[in-house]
Chain A
Amino acid sequence: MRRLPWTILAWAAGLVFFFPVLWMVLTGFKREADAASNPPTWVFTPTLDGYRQVFDRDLTPYLLNSLMASLFSTLLVLVLATPAAYALSLRPVGKWRDALFFFISTKMLPAVAALLPIYLVVKELGMLDNVWTMVILYSAMNLPLAIWMMRSFLLEVPASVLEAAEMDGAGLLVSIRRVLLPIVSPGLAATALICFIFSWNEFFFAVNLTATRAGTAPIFLVGFISSEGLFLARLCAAATLVSLPVVLAGWLAQKQLVRGLSMGAVK
């Protein structure tokens, strides 16, 4: 029974880390008076007032903007990254190693150094406060990650499978569609998930390049706090709502999460 203390410790650690999230969810269901009380209110009658007020303040368009920016940028990234990953793994170009490291190096360059020119160009093009601007930027942000990840999935495709398809006289496109895609589709899904998470949560470009028309969910949160200062219950309701999609997706796809976060380096 000497394992018991370790089990208790593990559970305690899990609960400690989860507690702030739990507190956020609970506070979202409190009345404002209970939310901002000292000592904290542990027992209360749950109310949906916080959530109602969040939707009264028009959360929906911000959620739709986030959804559009995340969904379309994820699609664009997959369309660009999958063939690129193919050209860097199964049928590699001559300098595939250089290309691979070029992509990862773009991820290391600080976004802040690119902000000013991007802002000026976007302004010049009249594309400030436009969802499609965010789609392009989020695609560039996630492209290296997606290429490295997809490459690691493609490298797992057994060479014999492709050769067999070739022997059967299947053309390149047919063997990609019939043989390759079914094998790597779980990898494709995992890559999409990671790209979606990072786009959904992005704040830096969103706060500098969008306002009311194309504002995404994190922008809603910021606007919320500057005008409503102390309404903690409402704030927590809003924070819970905008975090929910990614939290659920991450819970459901825990296995793929590790691989995606390490860009395919850890299986």
Chain B
Amino acid sequence: MSSATLEKEAPVRPASKRAGPAASRRDRWSRRAPLLPALIFAIVVTQVPFLVTLYLSTLSWNALRPGSREFTGLSNYATVLSDGRLRAALVNTVVLTASSVVVSVLIGLGLAILLDRKFPGRGVVRTLLITPFLVMPMAAALLWKHAIYNPAYGLINGILGGDTDWVSGYPMVAVVATLVWQWTPFMMLIILAGLQSQSLETLEAARVDGASAWQTFLHITLPYLRPYLELSALLGSIYLVQTFDAVFTITQGGPGTATTNLPYEIYLTTFRKFEYGEAAAAGVVVVIGTIAVATFALRVISGLFKMEVSR
């Protein structure tokens, strides 16, 4: 963690010059007061539910069986961890998140490079490109499922011919393609901001030294962009790992469990099977996994702050 650099970033104003414990205590509280409402709100709405989840995960509780609500210790965890469904959902989540993020970052990088030069209508092209990100995700999922993938009258078969059922034939690709379409503009915007903050002098110097455009890109631009690529991938992962709308609409997790990711699987356990105890245990497992990934993610965020300061 780059705590030292973060420290520098906030101009810490010295506390009241009148020394004395009473004054400094008052000062501390007057500093804290504006933070407290937000802090309390966040703790109540986001942390307390997790404690309740922890408690629920130790119960054998199916909402369809009245009176079946007793303490069972860790048996839900045994069920959940030995159940193939959750493992399948975990694998699907990793595949879905990683492939959507990687593909949209790569395409986003390409588009950002295209937009980093002046050309007629650049503003219009940029506006066109960001539009998919602004369309409501549910509308986008429905649009792709019915107007684009549909075997009988969808746009793909309408143009290419044939009667391939894209959603049942290539379910994961169908979901990922929709997500990539929506998230590429997001990646592009962040990478483009990085490209445009690059100093022209460095690039000019490289050109004078006889570096080709490709060499300059590989050895100067790409290393410079690294934090921006990391940030876009990280933020994309935070959102995409929670993908629900696209799976819910396009494939309903199917065929079988081919595209059931963790959010959809837990949703099914909760509201289709009403296995509250198991759903809670699965939730806890997901949270633990997320904490592991998030610890790494936070380090990346700190790294980015270091860069911002050193610039």
Complex Cα spacing A218 to B138, Å: 6
- CB proximity of B253 to chain A, nearest CB, Å: 13
Contact with A along B294-311 (1 / 0, CB 8 A): 100110010011001000
Q: Are A91 and B13 in contact (CB under 8 A)?
A: yes
Supply 9 further A-B pairs (C-beta < 8 A) apart from A87-B31, A254-B130. A17-B129, A91-B13, A92-B31, A112-B242, A136-B45, A139-B45, A201-B136, A203-B245, A246-B134
Q: Give the interface size class of chain B.
A: 35 or more
Contact A235 B142, beta carbon cutoff 8 Å: yes
Q: Give CA–CA (A251, B260) in the complex, Å.
A: 34
- Asked if A45 is at the interface of the complex by the 8 Å CB criterion, the answer is no
A61 within 8 A of B: no
Give the distance in Å from the alpha carbon of A240 to the alpha carbon of B131 in the complex. 12
- Given A218-B136, A235-B142: A14 in contact with B242 (beta carbons within 8 A): no
B266 to A, closest residue via Cβ: A112
Q: Please give the residue numbers on chain B whose beta carbons come within 8 Å of chain A beta carbons, in ascending order.
A: 3, 6-7, 9-13, 28, 31-35, 37-39, 41-42, 45-50, 52-53, 56, 110-111, 114-115, 117, 119-122, 124-140, 142-144, 146-148, 152-153, 155, 157-159, 181, 184-186, 189-190, 192-194, 197, 228, 231, 235, 238, 241-242, 244-245, 248-249, 262-263, 266-267, 270-271, 276, 279-280, 283-284, 286-287, 290, 293-294, 297-298, 301, 304-305, 308
Tell me which of B35, B122, B139 contacts A87 (CB under 8 A): B35
- Whether the Cβ atoms of B287 and A86 lie closer than 8 Å is no
> Quick one: given A106-B42, A110-B286, are A13 and B129 in contact (CB under 8 Å)?
yes
Residues A246 and B119 in contact, CB atoms below 8 Å apart: no
A247 within 8 A of B: yes
Using Cβ atoms and an 8 Å threshold, which residues of chain B touch A225? 142, 146
Cβ A266 vs Cβ B117 within 8 A: no
Does A170 make an interface contact (CB < 8 A)? Answer: no
User: Residue A40 contacts which of B127, B132, B158, B190 (CB distance < 8 angstroms)?
Assistant: B158
Residue of A80, A81, A250, A266 near B190 (CB, 8 A) is: A266
Interface residue ranges of A220-242 to B (CB < 8 Å): 221-222, 225, 232, 235-236, 239-240, 242
Contact partner of A250 (CB less than 8 A), chosen from B121, B133, B301, is: B133
The SS class assigned to the A binding surface is helix
Are A103 and B42 CB-contacts (below 8 A) given A3-B119, A265-B308?
A: yes
The one of B53, B124, B143, B152 in contact with A24, judged by C-beta atoms closer than 8 angstroms, is: B143
Choose, from A47-55, A116-124, A178-186, the stretch at the interface.
Answer: A116-124
Instruction: State the main secondary structure of chain B at its contact with A.
Output: helix
A158 to chain B: closest CB distance in Å? 10
Among A8-41, those with CB < 8 Å from B are 9-11, 13-15, 17-18, 20-21, 23-24, 27, 35-40
Collect the chain A residues with CB atoms within 8 Å of residue B32's CB: 87, 93
What are 25 A-to-B residue pairs whose CB atoms are below 8 Å? A3-B117, A6-B117, A10-B125, A14-B128, A21-B131, A39-B159, A80-B38, A84-B38, A89-B10, A93-B28, A110-B286, A112-B267, A117-B280, A137-B45, A140-B46, A159-B11, A203-B137, A203-B244, A222-B138, A247-B134, A251-B130, A258-B193, A261-B186, A262-B193, A263-B235
